[in-house]
Amino acid sequence: MGVPRKSIADKLLLELKCASGDGDYLVVYDFSVGRGGRIPLRFYRNLRILIERLGGVDFVQKSVLLCRGKKAALAVAKLVEHYGGNVRIFQVVERNVRGC
């Protein structure tokens, strides 16, 4: 019996094990799918694995995630790119917005 294959999520986490950086990041992604096209189910399975292993990743909207830490943001972005999606990472800057 052979050794089970590693998931894409596991490979990305291994590749990014040295990535570091604090702060919050928004990861915004989109897939160009034609009529009747679908985003591969494997993308969502691997995204779930990343979220469980990394922690600190929350959905803001369907294709917008808030990631705590640079490693999480890079892992999600690389997963999107692996499946042919477009992705952008934005660093969150907290500002006190007060009236007069």
Provide the b/e sequence for 85-98 (b: ≥16 CB within 10 Å): bebeeeeeeeeeee
- Please state, for a pLDDT cut of 70, what percent of the chain lies above it: 91
Helix locations, 1-100, DSSP H: 8-15, 41-54, 70-82
- The pLDDT, as a whole number, for residue 57 is 96
pLDDT-based confidence at residue 95 (cuts at 50, 70, 90): confident
- Its pTM stands at 0.84
Domains parsed from the chain with CATH numbers: 8-91 (3.30.70)
